[in-house]
């Protein structure tokens, strides 16, 4: 059984058969019924959401001998020719392979030779791949389109389509299907095609399809071919388990397995981000999770094992990877690097703090021979001030070498002039109090925070430098988040430090000693997005909620945005 045959067999032939794209259907049917169809449409949306199918239905109805209410009859010669893929009125081009200027010129030359009374529909798939010259040639035609021509430009990446072209089209957005709608469709197709399949397999099929009708039916096809057994090739759970276990080898194996099966690394990363977003929602706003109940429970369990800060980190890192993939020659490498970064603790720390750590250890080694207790008056047992004993190998080491990540460098080692013994707790900034913050960052600071504040604090790695507390973050968006939440963070930090101190937020990409840093000493109360507020939004305003959440994850995309 051919892999695509179910999808072909159940491919929608009329607008009314399209699933989940009601706004698109309404716009096109109305336009056709009133003979007001546009000359150029831009269909954008994830792969497998019906863009090309819709373009074909449009071509069919425009040339149908007996159209009814904006729908094709699907019986006349013209309709059948389109359905069989041998109509001269529909010209499909994949811009990814026909992206030269010459190809576009040929198309345009052909477009001007129309047969009277008929519509020629040009479907340009992946139009964002057109070369600059080809875009310019296309633009010229769009400026003065022949009256019988309709261009349908399809793309998964509308942002990459030249604005000049976009502005001359009617832009219609296609969406992934909500899980319940897709499930109903799969069950219907399965029963219509006489496929006997268990509920469990149906859910596996849905997971594998990732919201794309085409991919879901392909998965069903495979399940049917193997007697209802679903060999889940992209079990997103495999990736998540490997992330939980910090297992780089397992992640890379999962990538290899999935890519070998024919999946685009972009699809993998989008699936993962979507899954992580669900995981995040199970913790923050469970009522917004759109998953079957048993699956939601599984995802919530994964979320619990990962913890919110790591989920945020994964979404953030993969979001950046999605951006990087746009310009990378090999998107698989970008995906692999991003995943390894997420499980490699030292890479996660960043080169900056690694260097700081090496420097600190070196300093400690240098100082080590000098580490000796201040001379003690044997009669009082108290330190004698202003003196220094000669090195005495029998003297016990008072200051053990601090365990690695603590901020021992910030702790002044006793040298020639030890400070008076019971030093008062400094009222304001001192290296000592900042060292305390650094040391107690996990329990004292992060442990005191909740929800987003906690997640944001977890983005930062604290370092003491020149009497300032430096919060190192990975990138500008993180820096922005940390600054946004600074009123809450600083309150806890000052508490731990026992006084106010200078706080600097720095991204790792900056020069280590010349930060264009923002010094925060006293911060005014600011407004910030509170997850409680987000949760209290009525569910109908999903968009606002999702936009808020998307804002919280730099580089993320809303994958199921509704009109």
Q: Summarize as ranges the residues that interact with Zn ion (CB under 5 A).
A: 64, 72-73, 76, 79
Which residue number, 31 or 402, has a Cβ lying nearer to Zn ion? Answer: 31
Which residue number, 75 or 533, has a Cβ lying nearer to Zn ion? Answer: 75
In the three-class reduction of DSSP (H, G, I as helix; E, B as strand; rest coil), residue 401 is classed as coil
Cβ 72 to Zn ion, closest distance in Å?
5
Cβ 128 to Zn ion, closest distance in Å?
32
Cβ 214 to Zn ion, closest distance in Å?
25
Those residues with Cβ within 8 angstroms of residue 130's Cβ, 6 or more apart along the chain or in another chain: 95, 99, 104, 124, 138
Q: Are 448 and 440 in contact (CB under 8 A)?
A: no
Which residue number, 82 or 552, has a Cβ lying nearer to Zn ion? Answer: 82
Cβ 71 to Zn ion, closest distance in Å?
9
Residue 215 structure tokens: 């991919």
Which residue number, 79 or 149, has a Cβ lying nearer to Zn ion? Answer: 79
Cβ 73 to Zn ion, closest distance in Å?
4
Q: CA 557, CA 546: separation in Å to the nearest integer?
A: 10
Cβ 52 to Zn ion, closest distance in Å?
19
Q: Are 300 and 283 in contact (CB under 8 A)?
A: yes
Q: CA 431, CA 411: separation in Å to the nearest integer?
A: 7
Q: Are 128 and 155 in contact (CB under 8 A)?
A: yes
Cβ 477 to Zn ion, closest distance in Å?
52
Q: CA 89, CA 112: separation in Å to the nearest integer?
A: 13
Which residue number, 66 or 415, has a Cβ lying nearer to Zn ion? Answer: 66
User: Cβ of 320: how many Cβ atoms within 10 Å?
Assistant: 19
Which residue number, 64 or 460, has a Cβ lying nearer to Zn ion? Answer: 64
Which residue number, 65 or 466, has a Cβ lying nearer to Zn ion? Answer: 65
Which residue number, 73 or 244, has a Cβ lying nearer to Zn ion? Answer: 73
Which residue number, 81 or 300, has a Cβ lying nearer to Zn ion? Answer: 81
Q: Are 376 and 383 in contact (CB under 8 A)?
A: yes
Cβ 75 to Zn ion, closest distance in Å?
6
Those residues with Cβ within 8 angstroms of residue 249's Cβ, 6 or more apart along the chain or in another chain: none
Helix, strand and coil content of the chain, in percent to the nearest 5, comes to 55, 10, 35
CB-based burial, 192-223: b 16+ in 10 Å, e otherwise: eeebebeeebbbbbbbbbbbbbbbbbbbbbbb
Cβ 82 to Zn ion, closest distance in Å?
9
Long-range contact pairs involving 507-512 (C-beta distance under 8 Å, separation at least 24): 507/472, 507/473, 507/474, 507/475, 507/476, 507/478, 507/479, 508/350, 508/351, 508/352, 508/353, 508/472, 508/473, 508/474, 508/475, 509/475, 512/352, 512/355
């Amino acid at each position: 059984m051919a892999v695509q045959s179910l999808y072909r067999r159940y491919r929608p032939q009329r607008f009314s058969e399209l699933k989940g794209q009601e706004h698109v259907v309404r716009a096109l049917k109305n336009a056709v019924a009133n003979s007001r169809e546009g000359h150029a449409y831009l269909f954008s949306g994830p792969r497998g959401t019906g863009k090309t199918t819709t373009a074909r239905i449009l071509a069919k109805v425009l040339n149908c001998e007996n159209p009814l209410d904006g729908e094709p009859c699907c019986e006349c010669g013209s309709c059948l020719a389109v359905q069989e893929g041998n109509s001269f009125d529909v010209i499909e081009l994949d811009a990814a392979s026909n992206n030269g200027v010459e190809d576009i010129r040929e198309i345009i030359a052909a477009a001007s030779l129309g047969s009277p009374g008929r519509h020629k529909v040009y479907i340009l798939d992946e139009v964002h791949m057109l070369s600059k010259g080809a875009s310019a040639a296309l633009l010229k035609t769009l400026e003065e389109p022949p009256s019988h021509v309709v261009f349908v430009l399809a793309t998964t990446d509308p942002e990459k389509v030249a604005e000049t072209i976009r502005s001359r089209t009617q832009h219609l957005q296609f969406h992934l299907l909500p899980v319940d709608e897709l499930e109903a469709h799969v069950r219907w197709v399965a029963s219509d095609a006489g496929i006997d399949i268990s509920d469990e397999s149906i859910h596996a099929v849905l997971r594998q399809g990732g919201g794309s009708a085409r991919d879901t039916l392909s998965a069903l096809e495979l399940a049917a071919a193997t007697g209802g057994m679903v060999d889940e090739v992209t079990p997103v759970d495999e990736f998540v388990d490997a992330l939980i276990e910090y297992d780089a080898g397992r992640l890379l194996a999962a990538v290899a397995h999935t890519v070998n099966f024919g999946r685009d690394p972009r699809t993998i990363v989008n699936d993962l981000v979507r899954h992580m977003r669900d995981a995040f929602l199970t913790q923050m706003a469970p009522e917004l999770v759109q998953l079957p109940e048993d699956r939601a429970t599984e995802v919530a369990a994964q979320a619990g094992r990962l913890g919110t800060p790591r989920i945020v980190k994964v979404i953030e890192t993969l979001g950046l990877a999605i951006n990087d993939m746009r310009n990378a020659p090999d998107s698989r490498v970008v995906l692999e690097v991003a995943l390894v970064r997420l499980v490699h603790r030292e890479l996660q720390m960043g080169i900056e703090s690694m260097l700081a750590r090496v420097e600190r250890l070196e300093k400690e080694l240098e100082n080590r021979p000098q580490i000796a207790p201040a001379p003690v008056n044997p009669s009082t047992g108290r330190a004698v001030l202003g003196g220094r004993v000669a090195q005495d190998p029998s003297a016990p080491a008072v200051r053990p070498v601090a365990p690695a990540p603590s901020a021992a460098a910030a702790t002044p080692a006793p040298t020639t002039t030890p400070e008076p013994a019971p030093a008062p707790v400094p009222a304001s900034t001192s290296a000592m109090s900042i060292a305390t913050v650094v040391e107690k960052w996990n329990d004292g600071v992060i442990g005191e925070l909740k929800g987003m504040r906690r997640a944001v604090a977890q983005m930062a790695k604290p370092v003491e430098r020149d009497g300032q507390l430096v919060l190192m973050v990975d990138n500008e968006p993180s820096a922005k988040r940390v600054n946004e939440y600074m009123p809450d963070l600083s309150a806890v930090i000052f508490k731990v430090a026992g006084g106010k101190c200078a706080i600097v937020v720095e991204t790792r990409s900056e020069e280590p000693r010349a930060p264009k840093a923002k010094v925060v000493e006293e911060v005014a109360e600011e407004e910030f997005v509170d997850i409680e507020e987000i949760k209290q939004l009525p569910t109908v305003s999903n968009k606002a909620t999702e936009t808020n959440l998307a804002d919280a994850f730099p580089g993320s995309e809303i994958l199921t945005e509704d009109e």
